[in-house]
Amino acid sequence: MADPPRRPPRRTQPIPAYSYPQVFLVDQGLPAQSSLDRGPIPTWSVLPPPVKHHKRSDCSGWWPLLALIQIVTLLALGAGAYYIYWLRHELLELWIDRPLTLTPQLPTGLPEPTTEKTEKSKTAHLTGELKNITVGSRMLVWESAARGAFTEGVEYRDHSLVINETAHYFVYSSVFFRSQGCPVPNLVVHSVYRKTLRSVEPRLLLQSRKLSQCVGGSRWYGNSYLGAAVKLDRMDRVYVHVSDPALVSLEPATTYFGLYKV
């Protein structure tokens, strides 16, 4: 018995690389057939849809913006560094051009030294001298170097203060009078005179007149004070004159004479 003719193998088109479900052929329970009589391999007219893969997000569009930000940052840092360098250079030039002056440093709390020459003061304060009574004169005699008296920038000569600089001065004088009985006459006079080189006669600057309030021969006392600002010329002489020097008390606290430049 001749063998049946063999069926040529069916040429199939290549199946694209699509994922499709696995298929298993089951022939259990069917009559046994020869492996050569098996039917054709099943095919599908409609292929399953391809599996979609999620695409990765594309960040390539951000790179230009990031690069621009970095460039701007670098430019700002460079500009700041250049400005600091320029400012330091300017300060260095100012420091070099400044003249070098050395000033002594003093401890804290001490006064700074003054370069200006301090002007010598013109002042004097005289007190009554114990030998105040001069025969034939009503000009008072003063103590210039004791009992609280002093002279500075002014000379005391011939019972007078001699001015050595033309200026305005405050002249003052105080005289304390006392008597065991009523003075005769009962009028006491206290005066300050100015003697200049241009005039022979002295000029009256200040004067005080007082009547003694004395009753029945009792003890009497009184005080007279004079003071004013006047202009005095160089070489002028200023002195004190009283009506009766014998009535003058010689206490330094009550009888004095002086002046100072204003």
pTM equals 0.54
Q: How confident is the model at residue 175 (pLDDT cuts 50, 70, 90)?
A: very high
Quick one: which of 257, 260, 220, 259 has its CA closest to 241?
257
pLDDT tens by residue, 92-103: 877 776 655 555
**d(Cα 247, Cα 225) in Å, to the nearest integer?**
15
Read off the DSSP letter of residue 148.
T
Give the range among 37-51, 84-98, 100-114, 196-210 with minimum mean pLDDT.
Answer: 100-114
Checking DSSP bridges between strand 187-195 and strand 123-128, what pairing results, if any?
unpaired
Please give the pLDDT value at position 206: 96
Largest CA distance in the chain: 204
**d(Cα 105, Cα 101) in Å, to the nearest integer?**
12
**d(Cα 158, Cα 135) in Å, to the nearest integer?**
15
- Provide the CATH number for the domain formed by 123-177+189-208+227-261 in this structure: 2.60.120.40
pLDDT tens by residue, 119-139: 678 999 999 887 655 556 789
Q: By the 8 A CB rule, do 256 and 211 touch? A: no
**d(Cα 129, Cα 256) in Å, to the nearest integer?**
10
Q: By the 8 A CB rule, do 196 and 236 touch? A: yes
**d(Cα 187, Cα 177) in Å, to the nearest integer?**
11
Domains of the chain: which residue ranges?
123-177+189-208+227-261
Residues 6 or more apart whose CB falls under 8 angstroms from that of 137 comprise 245
Average pLDDT value for residue range 194-200: 91
Percent of the chain with pLDDT over 70: 64
Structure tokens that stand for 156 in this block: 């005391």
**d(Cα 261, Cα 171) in Å, to the nearest integer?**
9
